[in-house]
């Protein structure tokens, strides 16, 4: 499968969007997609606080959430278009305020279809499904 | 000096000063500390149009009143973005909670966590860490906070109960006791924490959104917004994205503006508003009828979120609205309140119209608004202590001035009509001063002046309109001192209007001493009005209260800050300009800048010697913040027929008093 060709449109439209983009793939192909995004120069994060920091810097960002991050991702994706993200890290109980950069950024959340929380479909903009 | 750069139509829908932002006239204070506030640059492409401007105004009303607002509307209308954009304007810190999905109560209300800073054995093992809600409630000096509760109707019942406890505490500015650990209490202050909840319409394609119990809705000012952007707003937003000019773009109508009354009334003052009894009776009938319409499903039958008009909350809110927004027209303000609190819950335009028919009936006839026997505000706003005993007709009052051979002391309907080209005689309210008081006007250099805040056509009669209405003798120009910013020019020149009613005013300092100090003049003026003009006759409670309040204010500043009032200038008096402005004496004694301009133009036109031409600079009770500086009171002087508006410290000695009694 030529991912570059498959994802070309998705990536070009995802640029500078004011909504986060969702990429839904099967569990077994997850690492292929991850590698592809890495090769494309995306900064990859699996930690929610790192991800938030990246949003403030902008650029091409890929986030691969854990299953238990669904609610956090929902909260972040819901706030992303509103110009600021306020997030409580419920482990450290620390609150952060992030002003996401949209210009020349692509923010993609990569999730295995099998782990998808249906709620997540609503707050995302562009969605790619394998 | 710069000439004014405004016209009656030029007031900005969103006006910003150093300390506040007004949304269609509804003013909110900026936070002194902008830490964590959204970045304004993120909202540069936010479009202020005929949908989003009234939307922001409605949110602002609720925040200004200290009420929590609950907005129901579709996802695409930009509810959260609008709130964050306003927070960016105002420098407010946003605390956002999304209640959809599993949210532990401790994430909202906080919990004890191992102390990450424990260094010694004496340091506590555990510390309390705020949750999203409690951090929003914490009062921090210089900060204003906005707590957004998103998807409230997707919340678990347990969390909803906790949040309602928070609202109840906020309403009484009380403490939130954390039931998880009763030793933790959080003091709340609804002036510094503003709460907005957002819901998508229950059902109708929004998963897991249940209708809230209507009984719970009473805590909120509930606003029903559309599910989708109105077509006009969508067109304008889309055109803007593609940089295409919008066809037939509509300007925001003047009626959409809702101005805050700078000297907000207290609930005790309301009884003094002419016609208040009549209109209250009509309001009670309206409330009952509106409630019945909802109960019988004649309105809002298709709205998935049920609601009712609460018997206790709606009247209290309408009253508070009247206190804040009343500017002399009780019918207008009352009806605006009903549109806000009653029609605002309805989406369908035809149903809104049904309510509008009822709202129109909540009014007081004009005759009752100018009843001279009625004590207090509005038509009798400029009444005398004897207002309850007598009321002179316009002709009788004019006759008294003729008998004294002091025609220039009388500015009535004819003088207004002659100068500005409008005023119908039957509209003039009776004169609420006694013959004895009027007979002293010549001796004290006082004029009896009828002030109007609107033209016969109902147009706002502000400085800009006065300038354009008066074309005789080459007209009069009003100039502002360089440094007074555009927002303040608009406040003084457009938003402020003369208070309707008769007053006594004069430029002589016979009665008021020769000091230029703002406060000392206020004090001596109040005293002289009571002892000299009224010869120690009993003055109204309102007047007595104002006198006591002023005395307390001066003595407190003398004892706690500086030895005398004059020295306040050197110790931060500028910081107190807004405090002085709030004093009731200030509104009883001092004239607004527009009121002096109004009187000056008539005097100038009539060639009366009471014109300020060549006279000294005088105080007004208007104030301006200018650029990057504290607020100062505005003074006014006249040279060669032009009027100059400057700003001064309250202790500048070259500005002299202008007596302007609004005694009741």
Give CA–CA dist B36/A66, Å, rounded. 28
| Predicted local confidence at residue B558, as pLDDT | 58
The residue of chain A with its CA nearest to that of B129 is A93
* pLDDT higher than threshold 90 for residue A60: yes
Of A24, A5, A7, A38, give the one whose Cα is nearest residue A124: A24
Query: What would the mean pLDDT of B377-397 be, rounded to a whole number?
Result: 53
The answer to whether B635 and B653 have CB atoms below 8 angstroms apart is no
Q: Which residue of B42, B101, B132 is in closest CB contact with A71? A: B101
* Beta carbons of B135 and A95 less than 8 Å apart: yes
| B123 phi/psi in degrees, rounded to 5 | -70, 140
Q: What is the sign, positive or negative, of the torsion defined by CA atoms of A38, A43, A47, A48? A: negative
Q: Which residue of B81, B95, B131 is in closest CB contact with A81? A: B81
Chain A partners within 8 Å of B207 (Cβ): 118-119, 122
pLDDT range class, residue A20, cuts 50, 70, 90: very high
- The DSSP-derived string for B190-253 is TTTEEEEEEEPPSBTTBTT-PPPPHHHHTTSEEEE--SS--HHHHHHHHHHHTT-PPTTPPPPP
Tokens of B326: 């009343």
Give CA–CA dist B464/B3, Å, rounded. 12
Sequence-distant (≥ 6) Cβ neighbours of residue B310 within 8 angstroms = B218
The answer to whether B620 and B591 have CB atoms below 8 angstroms apart is yes
Tokens of B404: 């004294």
Q: Is B632 helix (H, G, I), strand (E, B) or coil?
A: strand
| Predicted local confidence at residue B598, as pLDDT | 93
Chain A partners within 8 Å of B100 (Cβ): 74, 119
Per the prediction, chain B carries an average pLDDT of 82
* pLDDT higher than threshold 80 for residue B186: yes
Query: What would the mean pLDDT of B374-400 be, rounded to a whole number?
Result: 55
The answer to whether A110 and A11 have CB atoms below 8 angstroms apart is no
| Predicted local confidence at residue B590, as pLDDT | 84
Per the prediction, chain A carries an average pLDDT of 92
Å between A81 CA and nearest CA of chain B: 7
Looking at the complex, does the CB of residue B184 fall below 8 Å from at least one CB of chain A?
no
Q: Which residue of A71, A92, A99 is in closest CB contact with B102? A: A71
> pLDDT higher for B368 or B624?
B624
Which of B77, B94, B126, B128 best tests the A interface by mutation, with the highest count of A CBs <10 A?
Answer: B94
pLDDT range class, residue A107, cuts 50, 70, 90: very high
Question: How is chain B split into domains, by residue range?
Answer: 37-242, 275-369, 370-661
Sequence-distant (≥ 6) Cβ neighbours of residue B409 within 8 angstroms = B401, B441, B442, B446, B447, B448, B610
Query: What would the mean pLDDT of B286-306 be, rounded to a whole number?
Result: 93
Residue count (chain B): 664
Give CA–CA dist B79/B312, Å, rounded. 28
Give CA–CA dist B24/B61, Å, rounded. 10
> pLDDT higher for A17 or B176?
A17
| Predicted local confidence at residue B567, as pLDDT | 47
Give CA–CA dist B554/B567, Å, rounded. 12
Give CA–CA dist B176/B161, Å, rounded. 13
Report which secondary-structure segment, H or E, holds B552.
Answer: helix B541-560
The answer to whether B650 and B487 have CB atoms below 8 angstroms apart is no
> How much is the ipTM here?
0.93
Which residues sit opposite B633 in a β-bridge? B623, B648
Give CA–CA dist B652/B664, Å, rounded. 29
The residue of chain B with its CA nearest to that of A90 is B107
Tokens of B371: 């009843």
Tokens of B52: 């989003």
* pLDDT higher than threshold 90 for residue B184: no
* pLDDT higher than threshold 60 for residue B8: no
Å between A122 CA and nearest CA of chain B: 10
- pLDDT tens, position by position, B617-648: 788 888 787 655 566 777 878 888 888 888 87
Q: Which of B114-123, B165-174, B361-370, B445-454 has the lowest mean pLDDT?
A: B361-370
Looking at the complex, does the CB of residue B399 fall below 8 Å from at least one CB of chain A?
no
| Predicted local confidence at residue B315, as pLDDT | 96
| Predicted local confidence at residue B418, as pLDDT | 92
Which of A68, A88, A103, A116 best tests the B interface by mutation, with the highest count of B CBs <10 A?
Answer: A88
Give CA–CA dist B505/B483, Å, rounded. 29
The residue of chain A with its CA nearest to that of B154 is A119
Percent of chain B with pLDDT over 70: 83
Å between A123 CA and nearest CA of chain B: 9
Contacts across the A-B interface (CB distance below 8 Å): 71
* pLDDT higher than threshold 70 for residue B540: no
Looking at the complex, does the CB of residue A40 fall below 8 Å from at least one CB of chain B?
no
Q: Beta B446-451 vs B501-506: how paired, if at all?
A: antiparallel
Give CA–CA dist B623/B634, Å, rounded. 5
How many CB atoms are closer than 10 A to CB B35? 11
The residue of chain B with its CA nearest to that of A95 is B132
Å between B222 CA and nearest CA of chain A: 22
- The DSSP-derived string for B460-495 is B--HHHHHHH--GGG---EEE-TT--HHHHHIIIII
CA distances from B474 to B165, B467, B508, B605 (A): 64, 11, 27, 10
* Beta carbons of B95 and A86 less than 8 Å apart: yes
Q: Beta A60-63 vs A106-112: how paired, if at all?
A: parallel
Å between A45 CA and nearest CA of chain B: 23
Query: What would the mean pLDDT of B98-119 be, rounded to a whole number?
Result: 86
Q: Which of A43-47, B173-177, B214-218, B306-310 has the lowest mean pLDDT?
A: B173-177
> pLDDT higher for B372 or B42?
B42
| Predicted local confidence at residue A104, as pLDDT | 94
> pLDDT higher for B9 or B82?
B82
Domains in chain A, please, with CATH? Answer: 3-129 (3.40.50)
Percent of chain B with pLDDT over 90: 32
Of B80, B77, B58, give the one whose Cα is nearest residue B67: B58
The residue of chain B with its CA nearest to that of A103 is B42
Looking at the complex, does the CB of residue B88 fall below 8 Å from at least one CB of chain A?
yes
Q: CA dihedral defined by B205, B206, B210, B215, rounded to 10 degrees?
A: -100
| Predicted local confidence at residue B403, as pLDDT | 95
Class in CATH terms, B37-242 = alpha beta
Å between B306 CA and nearest CA of chain A: 25
The residue of chain B with its CA nearest to that of A102 is B42
Q: Which residue of B38, B100, B107 is in closest CB contact with A90? A: B107
Looking at the complex, does the CB of residue A70 fall below 8 Å from at least one CB of chain B?
yes
Of B524, B581, B578, give the one whose Cα is nearest residue B551: B524
Q: Which of B80-94, B311-325, B379-393, B444-458 has the lowest mean pLDDT?
A: B379-393
Query: What would the mean pLDDT of B528-538 be, rounded to a whole number?
Result: 73
Chain B partners within 8 Å of A73 (Cβ): none
The answer to whether B651 and B569 have CB atoms below 8 angstroms apart is yes
Would you put residue B243 in left (φ > 0), alpha (ψ -120 to 50) or beta? Answer: left
Chain A partners within 8 Å of B130 (Cβ): 93, 95
| Predicted local confidence at residue B378, as pLDDT | 38
| Predicted local confidence at residue B59, as pLDDT | 98
* Beta carbons of B39 and A86 less than 8 Å apart: no
* pLDDT higher than threshold 70 for residue B559: no
């Amino acid at each position: 499968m030529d991912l570059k060709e498959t994802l070309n449109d998705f990536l070009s439209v995802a640029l500078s969007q004011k909504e986060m983009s969702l990429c839904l793939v099967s569990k077994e192909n997850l690492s292929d997609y991850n590698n592809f995004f890495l090769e494309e120069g995306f900064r990859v994060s699996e930690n929610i606080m790192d991800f938030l920091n990246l949003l403030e810097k902008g650029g091409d960002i890929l986030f691969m959430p854990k299953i238990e991050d669904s609610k956090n991702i929902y909260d972040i994706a819901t706030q992303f278009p509103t110009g600021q993200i306020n997030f409580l890290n419920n482990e450290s109980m620390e609150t952060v305020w992030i002003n996401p950069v949209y210009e020349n950024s692509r923010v993609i959340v990569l999730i295995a279809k099998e782990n998808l929380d249906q709620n997540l479909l609503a707050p995302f903009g562009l969605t790619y499904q394998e | 000096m710069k000439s004014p750069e405004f016209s009656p139509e030029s007031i900005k829908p969103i006006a910003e000063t150093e300390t506040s932002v007004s949304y269609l006239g509804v003013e909110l204070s900026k936070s002194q500390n902008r830490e964590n506030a959204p970045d304004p640059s993120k909202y540069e492409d936010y479009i202020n149009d005929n949908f989003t401007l009234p939307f922001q105004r409605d949110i602002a009303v609720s925040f200004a009143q200290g009420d929590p607002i609950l907005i129901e509307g579709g996802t695409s209308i930009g509810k959260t973005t609008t709130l964050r954009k306003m927070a960016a304007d105002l420098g407010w810190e946003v605390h956002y909670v999304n209640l959809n999905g599993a949210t532990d109560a401790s994430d909202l209300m906080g919990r004890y966590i191992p102390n990450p800073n424990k260094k010694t054995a004496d340091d506590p093992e555990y510390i309390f860490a705020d949750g999203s809600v409690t951090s929003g409630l914490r009062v921090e000096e210089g900060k204003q906070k906005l707590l957004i509760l998103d998807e409230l109707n997707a919340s678990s019942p347990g969390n909803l109960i906790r949040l309602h406890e928070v609202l109840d505490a906020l309403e009484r500015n009380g403490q939130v006791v954390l039931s998880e650990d009763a030793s933790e209490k959080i003091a709340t202050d609804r002036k510094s924490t503003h709460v907005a909840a957002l819901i998508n319409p229950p059902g109708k394609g929004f998963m897991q959104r249940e209708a809230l119990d209507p009984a719970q809705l009473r805590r909120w000012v509930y606003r029903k917004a559309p599910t989708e952007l109105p077509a006009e707003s969508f067109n304008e937003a889309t055109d803007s994205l593609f940089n295409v000019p919008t066809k037939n773009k509509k300007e925001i109508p003047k009626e959409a503006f809702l101005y805050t009354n700078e000297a907000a009334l207290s609930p005790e003052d309301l009884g003094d508003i002419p016609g208040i009894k009549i209109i209250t009776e009509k309001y009670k009938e309206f409330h009952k009828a509106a409630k019945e319409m909802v109960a019988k499903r004649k309105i809002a039958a298709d709205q998935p979120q049920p609601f009712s008009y609460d018997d206790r909350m709606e009247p209290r809110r309408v009253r508070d609205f009247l206190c804040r927004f009343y500017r002399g027209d009780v019918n207008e303000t009352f009806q605006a309140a009903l549109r806000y609190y009653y029609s605002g819950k309805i989406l369908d335009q035809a149903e809104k119209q049904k309510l509008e028919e009822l709202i129109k009936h909540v009014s007081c006839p004009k005759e009752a608004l100018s009843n001279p026997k009625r004590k207090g505000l509005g038509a009798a706003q400029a009444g005398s202590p004897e207002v309850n005993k007598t009321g002179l007709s316009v002709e009788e009052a004019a006759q008294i001035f003729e008998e004294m051979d002091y025609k220039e002391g009388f500015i009535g309907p004819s003088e207004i009509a002659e100068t500005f080209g409008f005023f119908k005689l039957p509209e003039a309210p009776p004169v609420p001063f006694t013959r004895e008081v009027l007979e002293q006007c010549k001796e004290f250099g006082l004029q009896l002046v009828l002030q109007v805040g609107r033209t016969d056509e109902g147009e706002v009669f502000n400085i800009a309109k006065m300038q354009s209405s008066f074309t005789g003798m080459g007209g009069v120009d009003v100039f502002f001192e360089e440094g007074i910013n555009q927002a303040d020019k608009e406040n003084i020149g457009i938003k402020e209007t003369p208070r309707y009613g008769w007053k006594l005013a004069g430029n002589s300092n016979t009665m008021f001493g020769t000091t230029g100090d703002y406060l000392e003049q206020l004090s001596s003026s109040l005293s002289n009005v009571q002892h000299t003009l009224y010869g120690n006759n009993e003055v109204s409670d309102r007047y007595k209260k104002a006198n006591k309040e002023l005395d307390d204010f001066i003595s407190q500043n003398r004892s706690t800050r500086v030895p005398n009032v004059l020295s306040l200038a050197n110790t931060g008096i500028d910081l107190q300009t807004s405090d002085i402005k709030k004093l009731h004496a200030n509104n009883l004694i001092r004239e607004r800048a527009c009121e002096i301009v109004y009187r000056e133009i008539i005097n100038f036109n009539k060639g009366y010697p009471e014109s300020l031409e060549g006279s000294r600079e005088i105080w007004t009770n208007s104030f301006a913040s200018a650029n990057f500086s504290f607020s100062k009171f505005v003074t006014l002087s006249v040279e060669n027929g032009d009027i100059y508006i400057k700003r001064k410290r309250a202790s500048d000695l070259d500005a002299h008093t202008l007596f302007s009694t609004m005694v009741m």
